């Protein structure tokens, strides 16, 4: 199927044909001795094309300091190669838009809206990356990256439309094309551009428009690939999904961050109406266009906030057990203690230590030991409330802060925790099952009366209660009282 399609490119009468001016421009582009006089002569033979080029030279895209009123002046502004590329873009778009209208029907306008938006996006990306010497190449390559879709419509007029209409995006479309025909619109489009004898960068960019680079690279292929995602963001309804994809591919392909993407979208917004005028097409309603960057900024702000929360969460949590870490405990317990004193509300603290953990860890290894820590953390978490704060204090020891919790309520919660941990039957290997237990020391402040002036005193009291629980046989909860003490 693939070989047949590629062969048909040379003989199919339904394929879009290039206008004579475009053929002559391509011929001029391939000659090293092309002169400005030759270029100006051929462009002047097409008054509509000449007028568009003069308007282009006067547009904000090129920021000419002086008004341009004729082709010679435009050539001086745009440069020899630039004017060839721009003339080719206009002549192709004008001719192909008219020819494809009958083949594509109602989707013709959407196809060219995306193609022209991609062209501007490709150029804008190049400007942002500082590759100013190939901006017009980027525009043309972006414009033609989906030319393979037109070729499919011409070569497979019955088989292709259903595949195109069912695809939710261009990546899905490419996979469906490859599955049905053994070739995608990227490869077919590249072959068509080669057949038309386009400058080599155009078919290469078309061929690589869906291929991720090994590393970010500021080149034509990468700009063209990302430009399609920018166009999809401008034209799609699901802005959140599209901005997520855009941010990802811009980073992978070009190394651009979110702020750089926002700058590109801002520039696109400012220049899109100029491109609409030049190509005589309406791409977006002006009201919707003004909301594009605002919506992007809102979505990127949300992404940033989520990233900050995720970073905070990562900083505050133990990577193994997902409990809060020691630093979080130190800061939180201090603040909860002070708040308890100020408001006169009870505060309970429990220190939880896994019984015989060192023996288990030494016997079965650290991986099995880590598994026990995770299992115990889950058992504790299953018994506590949303307002309770579980922290990994260190090694095999956990700390549980119970704000606003009097002694009797804390005792009830911790009794459930002891029983929950005792139900763990942990299998360090296929032949052994180990019963896990834990000892808990409990202390409460501001329960009818103030017991501690400093949070460090309360923490020490919890440690004393924990030691007593260990000494008295483990697998139990011991409540602090002033008579408890560490061993001498």
In this structure, is residue 443 part of a structural domain?
yes
* CB 151, CB 177: distance < 8 Å: no
Residue 125 scores a pLDDT above 90? yes
CA 61, CA 51: separation in Å to the nearest integer?
16
Question: Nearest to residue 464, comparing CAs of 378, 350, 364?
Answer: 350
In a domain, 484, yes or no: no
Q: How high is the pLDDT of residue 15?
A: 66
pTM of the full structure: 0.64
Among 44, 48, 49, 59, CA closest to 276:
59
Structure tokens belonging to residue 54: 């003069």
253 and 128 in a common domain: yes
**Would residue 318 count as lying in a domain?**
no
Neighbours of 472 (CB within 10 A): 11
Question: In this structure, are 197 and 263 located in the same domain?
Answer: yes
- Say if residue 340 is in the same domain as residue 303: no
Residues 357 and 406 in one domain: yes
User: Buried (b) or exposed (e) across 25-43, using 16+ Cβ within 10 A?
Assistant: bbebbeeeebeeeebbebb
The reply to whether 250 and 337 lie within a common domain is: no
pLDDT (tens digit, 9 = 90+) per residue, 36-63? 777 778 787 778 888 888 888 888 887 7
pLDDT at site 223: 95
Domain membership flag for residue 367: yes
The first and second tokens of residue 480, run together, are 């602090």
The structural domain count of the chain equals 2
CB 117 within 8 A of CB 288: no
Exposed (0-12), middle (13-18) or buried (19+): which is 367, by Cβ within 10 Å? exposed
Same domain? 239 vs 112:
yes
Q: Kind of pairing, strands 347-354 and 438-445?
A: antiparallel
Tokens 């469906």: give the residue. Answer: 176
Q: Is residue 486 part of a domain?
A: no
What's the Rg (C-alpha) of the chain? 35
Could you report the per-residue pLDDT of 369-388, keeping only the tens digit for each? Answer: 999 999 999 999 999 999 99
The residue segments making up the domain with residue 457 are 326-479
Residue 320 domain flag: no
pLDDT of residue 106 exceeding 70:
no
What mean pLDDT is predicted for residues 230-254?
Answer: 86
* Rounded distance between C-alpha atoms, residue 426 and residue 354, angstroms: 13
444 vs 244, which has greater pLDDT? 444
The 10s digit of each residue's pLDDT in 283-299 is 888 777 777 777 777 77
Choose among 229, 203, 211: nearest CA to 174. 211
The more confident residue out of 91 and 204 is 204
Higher pLDDT, 21 or 267: 267
- The CA-based angle 263-269-273, given to 5 degrees, is 150
Domain shared by 139 and 262, yes or no: yes
User: CATH number for the domain including 223?
Assistant: 1.10.3210.10
Q: Which long-range contacts (CB under 8 A, 24 or more apart) does 77-82 make?
A: 78/53, 78/136, 80/34, 80/36, 80/39, 81/29, 81/136, 82/136
Query: Are 203 and 77 found together in one domain?
Result: yes
275, 308, 341 — which closes off a domain? 308
The Cα 268–Cα 87 span in angstroms is 21
Judge whether 88 and 26 are in contact, CB under 8 Å.
yes
Assess whether 282 and 359 both reside in one domain: no
One domain, residues 297 and 338: no
Is residue 124 located within the same domain as residue 209? yes
Could you report the per-residue pLDDT of 10-31, keeping only the tens digit for each?
766 666 666 777 777 777 767 7
Q: Is residue 313 part of a domain?
A: no
- Tokens 């650290």: give the residue: 366
Per the domain annotation, does 316 fall within a domain? no
Q: Which helix (H) or strand (E) holds 479?
A: strand 477-479
Last-in-domain residue among 276, 308, 340? 308
CATH code, domain carrying 402: 3.30.70.270
304 and 331 co-located in one domain: no
């Amino acid at each position: 199927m693939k070989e047949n399609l590629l062969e048909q490119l040379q003989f199919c009468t339904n394929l879009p044909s290039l206008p004579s001016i475009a053929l002559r421009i391509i011929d001029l582009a391939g000659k090293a001795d092309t002169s400005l006089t030759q270029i100006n002569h051929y462009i002047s033979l097409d008054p509509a094309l000449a007028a568009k080029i003069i308007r282009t030279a006067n547009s904000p895209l090129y920021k000419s300091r002086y008004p341009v009123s004729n082709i010679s002046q435009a050539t001086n502004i745009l440069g020899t190669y630039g004017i060839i590329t721009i003339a080719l873009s206009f002549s192709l778009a004008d001719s192909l838009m008219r020819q494809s209208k009958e083949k594509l029907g109602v989707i013709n306008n959407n196809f060219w809206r995306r193609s022209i938006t991609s062209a501007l996006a490709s150029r804008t990306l190049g400007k942002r990356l500082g590759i100013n010497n190939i901006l017009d190449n980027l525009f043309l390559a972006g414009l033609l990256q989906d030319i393979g879709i037109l070729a499919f419509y011409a070569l497979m007029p019955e088989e292709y439309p259903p595949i195109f209409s069912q695809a939710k995006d261009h990546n899905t479309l490419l996979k469906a094309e490859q599955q049905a025909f053994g070739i995608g619109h990227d490869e077919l489009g590249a072959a068509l551009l080669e057949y038309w004898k386009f400058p080599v960068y155009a078919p290469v960019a078309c061929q690589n428009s869906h291929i991720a680079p090994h590393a970010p690279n500021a080149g034509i292929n990468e700009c063209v690939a990302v430009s399609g995602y920018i166009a999809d963001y401008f034209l799609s309804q699901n802005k959140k999904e599209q901005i997520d994809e855009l941010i990802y591919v811009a980073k992978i392909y070009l190394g651009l961050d979110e702020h750089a993407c926002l700058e590109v979208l801002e520039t696109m917004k400012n220049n899109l109406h100029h491109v609409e005028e030049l190509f005589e097409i309406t791409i977006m309603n002006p009201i919707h266009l003004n909301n594009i960057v605002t919506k992007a900024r809102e979505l990127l702000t949300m992404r940033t906030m989520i990233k900050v929360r995720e970073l905070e969460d990562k900083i505050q949590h133990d990577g193994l057990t997902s409990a809060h870490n020691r630093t979080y405990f130190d800061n939180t317990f201090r603040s909860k203690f002070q708040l308890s004193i100020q408001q006169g509300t009870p505060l309970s603290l429990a220190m939880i230590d896994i019984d015989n953990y060192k023996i288990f860890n030494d016997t079965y290894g650290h991986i099995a030991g880590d598994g026990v820590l995770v299992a115990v953390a889950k058992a504790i978490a299953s018994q506590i409330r949303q307002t309770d704060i579980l922290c990994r204090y260190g090694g095999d020891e956990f700390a549980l802060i119970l704000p606003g919790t009097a002694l009797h309520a804390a005792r009830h919660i911790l009794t459930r925790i002891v029983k929950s941990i005792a139900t763990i039957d942990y299998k360090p290997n296929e032949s052994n099952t180990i019963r896990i237990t834990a000892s808990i020391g409990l202390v409460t402040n501001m329960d009818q009366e103030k017991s501690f002036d400093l949070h460090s005193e309360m923490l020490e009291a919890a440690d004393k209660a924990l030691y007593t629980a260990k000494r008295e046989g483990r697998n139990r909860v011991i409540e602090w009282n002033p008579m408890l003490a560490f061993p001498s």
